[in-house]
Amino acid sequence: MSGAAVPDGVPRCSWAAGGDEVYRRYHDEEWGRPVTGDAALFERLALEGFQAGLSWATILRKRDRFREVFHGFDLERVAAMGPDDVERLLGDPGIVRHRGKITSAIGNARRALEIVEEFGSLAGYLWPFAPPPAGPPAGFVAVTPESTALSRDLKRRGWTFVGPTTMYAAMQAVGMVNDHEAGCSVRPAVEAQRLPVLARYGTPAP
């Protein structure tokens, strides 16, 4: 695949080359750039869970409200949310009102705190699942051995809404893989930012 240019002349991945400014801004500024903070990583994981069955543009447009109602995705504050919070959020049109996904986010925050206790940070757990650096993607991929392994381990730890496809989308979003297309103007900068993070967290998990 090669990057596609929009009217501003900047080559981008084909999914971001249309007229949607929300997608373009997300592509240029966030997608694939490495994320290591606990709250930021948990946000990406939670939002990928909320996205299941919906367009990513829907989630991006609701993200500010998600951040408000989930306390900036602070792990301890989300983990402390209870049944009353669930009922309140089910009445909030600014987010995705799905009981299973809301309760999943709260439960996953509790499990994330256990991971932080064990590994020191979410990054310390997640990033070793990243594959070694590779060339540009050869085509569309929805699931990889690494995303399957991550999904399996998270489920073993009690996480929900973390299937292999969802986890691969999260890995793309947080920079664990660089799936910017070969001609995309953002790809080289993303890879340069990823390499020291990959080196910091060591050998990929088996």
Beta carbons within 10 angstroms of residue 95's beta carbon:
21
pLDDT for position 138: 66
Residue 5 host element (H or E): strand 4-5
pLDDT for position 190: 96
Q: Return d(Cα 191, Cα 173) in angstroms, integer.
A: 13
Residue ranges of domains in the chain, CATH in brackets? 30-201 (1.10.340.30)
CB-based burial, 160-171: b 16+ in 10 Å, e otherwise: bbbbbebbbbbb
Closest C-alpha among 104, 155, 147, 156 to residue 126? 147
Closest C-alpha among 22, 35, 27 to residue 4? 27
pLDDT for position 206: 41
Half-sphere exposure of 91 (CA within 13 A, CB side): 4
Along the 206 residues of the chain, how does pLDDT read in single tens digits? 445 545 678 899 999 988 788 999 999 999 999 999 999 999 999 999 999 889 999 999 999 999 999 999 999 999 999 999 999 999 999 999 999 999 999 999 999 999 999 999 999 999 999 988 877 776 778 999 999 999 999 999 999 999 999 999 999 999 999 999 999 999 999 999 999 999 999 755 44
What's the CA angle centered on 120, arms 119 and 124, to 5 degrees?
60
pLDDT for position 3: 53
Question: Which letter does DSSP use for residue 131 in this model?
Answer: P
Beta carbons within 10 angstroms of residue 86's beta carbon:
14
Report, as residue numbers or ranges, the catalytic residues: 26, 48, 56
Half-sphere exposure of 49 (CA within 13 A, CB side): 27
